Amino acid sequence: MRVYLYQCDGRIFFGEMTFHPGGGFEPFSPASWDLKLGDYLWLPLAIPRKNAM
């Protein structure tokens, strides 16, 4: 994983985390590792709140 940190005015800021080179668009080699590694990542769906606009 690559973590983007930025320094501005002497302070450190978090930017983003990249889990795969190429933004996830490069193929895995071997292809079977795509599913194996993906099984470790849990990204829950956003559920809107009842009173949200």
Task: Determine the Cα–Cα distance for residues 50 and 9; give it in Å rounded to an integer.
Answer: 41
Count: domains in the chain = 1
Note the pLDDT tens digit of each residue in 1-47.
889 999 999 999 999 888 777 777 888 889 898 889 889 888 888 77
Residue 15 domain flag:
yes
Task: Determine the Cα–Cα distance for residues 24 and 30; give it in Å rounded to an integer.
Answer: 15
Q: What is the pLDDT of residue 11?
A: 95
CA contacts within 13 A on the Cβ side of 52: 5
Which structural domain range is residue 20 located in?
A: 2-38
Task: Determine the Cα–Cα distance for residues 3 and 5; give it in Å rounded to an integer.
Answer: 6
For 11, phi then psi, to 5°, come to -110, 150
Task: Determine the Cα–Cα distance for residues 8 and 16; give it in Å rounded to an integer.
Answer: 16
To the question of pTM greater than 0.75 for the whole model, the response is: no
Residue 19 domain flag:
yes
